[in-house]
Each structure stands twice: as C-alpha cells, then as structure tokens.
C-alpha cells in the first residue's frame, strides 16, 4: 500500500497540505515501511484571483499521486479535502513520526 506524506524533514508528518512542494512516497507492506521516492507538486496555497480554489492544481496533484492509497498531512483545508476525495484520493490529518503512523493507517485501511 502506498502513502503520500507531507513532511518537511522526512521524519515527521509535519506539513500543511497547501504548503507542500513535494510528497514523500512510502510503501507499507507486512508492517514494514519503506521510503520509495519524492514526487514534486505545485504548491496549493498561493494567491491566484483567477482560480481561488485552485482545482486545476489539485487535479495535477492527484495525478502525481496516482497509485497512493492516501495523503497524510498535518492539516488540510475543507475545499482541497473535498476535491481530493472527489478525485479518489483519501486525505488523513495527523501529526507525528512517519513510520508508526503509516503502520497504523495501513492496518485500518
């Protein structure tokens, strides 16, 4: 199972979804957590009067996260959360050490 993680330091889930410029992709299998790669994305939180909800950015982000079961971040706004869910990406809001949190999520998904 693949997870996209929002992290500034690669140790903790500690970044707001809207501030991410790259997601860390982890695979969880048989209680093991393995870092696979970084996937760059356009930062969602930017002032853009032409596209205030930035749905085009969210679609590109969802495309970049193909194959991931969920996005795990420390915070996410309601509009991007609803749009990601509509696009088939499950957002989870949690903070803390990456590996134990991903193990726990994998057990319940």
Nearest to 77 by CA among 109, 54, 51, 107: 54
Distance set, CA 44 to CA 21, 28, 30, 33, 96 (Å): 8, 27, 33, 27, 22
pTM: 0.89
pLDDT band at 6 (very low <50, low <70, confident <90, very high): very high
> Residue 67: its pLDDT value, please?
92
- pLDDT value for 89: 84
């Amino acid at each position: 199972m693949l997870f996209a993680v929002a992290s500034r330091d690669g140790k903790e889930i500690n970044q707001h979804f809207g501030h991410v410029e790259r997601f860390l992709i982890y695979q969880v299998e048989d209680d093991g957590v393995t870092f696979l790669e970084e996937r760059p994305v356009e930062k969602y939180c930017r002032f853009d009067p032409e596209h205030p909800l930035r749905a085009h950015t969210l679609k590109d982000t969802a495309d970049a996260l193909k194959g991931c079961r969920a996005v795990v971040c420390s915070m996410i706004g309601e509009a991007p959360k609803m749009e990601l869910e509509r696009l088939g990406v499950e957002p989870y809001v949690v903070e803390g050490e990456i590996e134990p949190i991903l193990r726990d999520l994998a057990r319940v998904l």
